[in-house]
Amino acid sequence: MITDRRRLLALTAAGLAMPGLLRAEETWPDRPVRLIVPWPPGGSTDTVARILQPKLGEVLGRPVVIDNRGGASGSIGAIEAARVQPDGYSWMLAYDTQATNESVMRLPFRTMEAFAPVCLVATGPLALVAHASTPYRTYADVVAAAKKAPDTLNYATSGVGGLAHVATTLLQQRGGFKMVHVPYRGGGPATQDAVAGHVPLFMSNVVVISQHIKAGVLRPLGVTTRTQSRHVPGTPSFAEQGLTDFEAPTWWAMLGRAGTPQPILDRMHAALMKVLADPDVRAKIEEQGADVVASSPQECGRFLQTEIDRWGKVIRDNGIQADS
């Protein structure tokens, strides 16, 4: 009798709860949606987010509010995104550091456990550039200078442990030379100093430096795609400059909080597919130096896991830590 009563109470509670849950999923979104950008304004992730923002808000029928949470190579914003309620009202546009940070620093979450992959939005090349005032006209010039005077040639990146840092570490490892890493708190501040000539070399995604390359202020010496990139015409890849099979594309992905109801994840993915299919949105992203991917959630998840495993090994092999 007691068991039957408990079953009845449980079923009644479930019956009362289910309509409310269904209504929340069916009416999502019924208020503004927050998009966490774990980088300061002016960087590539912020740029891509602001290209997506108007059309995404239009498709969802609610405003999309960008929340810049920069610092610690994107980890501060990621920590915030990892602890929000899984109700579909907070999302994160992740950058390539999402795959490297958990090997570089101690974080209170693991990416594949804390987040639900939604879509690999875009990928693009990293480019090593030199300020126009420097004597470095080719990648070979940089290698020769660094070998002649090890640990004296500075290069900037958007932060410790990001793909730009780890990829440049691998370049040095394979090329047998050593430079000095100068990390910044995001691509925006790093670009400002690179353009001003305060640092001679800068490894960056093309999104934040394309206009400066076109203006002739920054001179591209190599790209991290397997072959030359249409976004930096005339610039050979590192693979084409003797580093066989070297490849390190940068990327941006939309992630939701793990535990977000599947119907909401599906709706966000469908909304992103509409946004990324829009010719104006695609053109704006590609004008910045990136290629739209618009993947499935499953493809995004596999890509993230591969990046975590691949670059985690490079980080461990080279002892890269958050204070390096």
Per-residue model confidence as pLDDT tens digits over 212-224: 999 999 999 999 9
* pLDDT higher at 15 or 214: 214
| Torsional sign, CA 159, 303, 79, 271 | positive
Question: Tens digits of per-residue pLDDT, 200-214?
Answer: 999 999 998 999 999
Residues forming a β-bridge with 291: 123
What confidence score (pLDDT) does residue 10 get? 47
Domains recognised in the chain with CATH numbers: 7-124+250-318 (3.40.190.150), 126-241 (3.40.190.10)
Total residue length of the chain: 324
Single-letter amino acid, residue 147: K
Q: What is the pLDDT of residue 13?
A: 47
The answer to whether the beta carbons of residues 248 and 167 sit under 8 Å apart is yes
Bridge partners of 36? 67, 92
Q: Which of 87, 74, 73 is nearest to 36 (CA)?
A: 74
Q: Indicate the average pLDDT of the chain.
A: 92
Whether the pLDDT of residue 5 is over 60: the answer is: no
Instruction: Quickly tell me which residue has 């994160």 as its tokens.
Output: 92
| Single-letter code of the amino acid located at 272 | L
Record the pTM.
0.86
